[in-house]
């Protein structure tokens, strides 16, 4: 291929990629509220919290256990984590659910506030597979909510979590 043809081809490819880039970026913006199935690891995102709340994985019992928020005050983009666990139990030595890497749900180092449901409590770690520093407070470092994780020095630090 001559250098003139190669330059024309490269310019056409560059233009095509530039046209595709905005569509990818807008798709990310339109999916700020996600639902993560703890059993399958599948995550589905929606434009609004109402759409996320209405979604349940088909043909199975699905219960929300914790909702993570990107901003303090339970605001901004959110991730609902749940599965077929219908109730949490008090002993933290045997948690109902463990998430070794929040990056699997695209939420590594993003959590600024959270709320647990179903009598669940959550413990966050700043390392993969429950390594490093963890949240303090509550019983055994497990909390049922935090409106602002910065108050305990844990804003945007969570990499793994357990739900009990």
Q: Are 115 and 148 in contact (CB under 8 A)?
A: no
Q: The whole model's pTM is what?
A: 0.79
How far, in Å, CA of 44 to CA of 37, rounded? 9
Residue 24 has pLDDT above 50, yes or no: no
> In the prediction, which pLDDT does 114 show?
98
Of the candidates 90, 76, 95, 92, which has an alpha carbon nearest to the alpha carbon of residue 38? 95
Count Cβ atoms below 10 Å from residue 93 Cβ, excluding itself.
6
Tens-digit pLDDT profile for residues 29-64: 348 999 999 988 889 999 999 999 998 876 578 899
Mention every residue, 6+ apart, whose C-beta is less than 8 A from residue 98.
130, 160, 161, 162, 163
Distance, CA of 11 to CA of 61 (rounded, Å): 51
Using alpha carbons, list the distances in angstroms from residue 56 to 15, 37, 80. Answer: 39, 9, 11
Distance of CA 39 to the CA centre of its chain: 14
When the pLDDT of each residue in the chain is averaged and rounded to a whole number, the result is 81
State residue 90's pLDDT score. Answer: 83
Among 6-15, 23-32, 88-97, which stretch is predicted with the lowest mean pLDDT? 6-15
* d(C-alpha 94, C-alpha 147), whole Å: 26
- Does residue 81 carry a pLDDT above 90? yes
DSSP state of 143: B
Q: Is the pLDDT of residue 28 over 50?
A: no
Both tokens assigned to 24: 């990818």
The pLDDT confidence band at residue 138, using thresholds 50, 70 and 90, is: low
Alpha carbon dihedral 149, 50, 117, 159, in 10-degree steps, equals: -40
Whether residue 135 contacts residue 143, with contact meaning beta carbons closer than 8 Å, is answered with: yes
Average pLDDT over residues 129-141: 85
Distances (CA, A) of 38 to 32, 92, 140: 19, 18, 23
């Amino acid at each position: 291929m001559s250098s003139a043809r190669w330059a024309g081809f490269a310019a056409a490819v560059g233009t095509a990629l530039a046209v595709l880039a905005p569509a990818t970026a807008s798709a990310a913006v339109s999916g700020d509220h996600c639902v993560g199935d703890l059993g399958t690891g599948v995550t589905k995102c929606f434009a609004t919290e109402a759409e996320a709340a209405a979604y349940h994985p088909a043909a199975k019992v699905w219960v929300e256990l914790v909702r993570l928020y990107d901003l303090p005050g339970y605001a901004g983009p959110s991730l609902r984590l749940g599965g077929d666990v219908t109730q949490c139990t008090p002993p933290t030595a045997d948690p109902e659910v463990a998430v070794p890497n929040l990056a699997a749900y695209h939420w590594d180092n993003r959590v600024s506030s959270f709320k647990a449901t179903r009598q669940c409590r959550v413990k966050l770690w700043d390392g993969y597979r429950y390594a490093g520093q963890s949240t303090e407070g509550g019983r055994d470092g497990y909390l049922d909510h935090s409106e602002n994780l910065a108050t305990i020095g844990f804003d945007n630090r969570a990499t793994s979590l357990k739900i009990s």
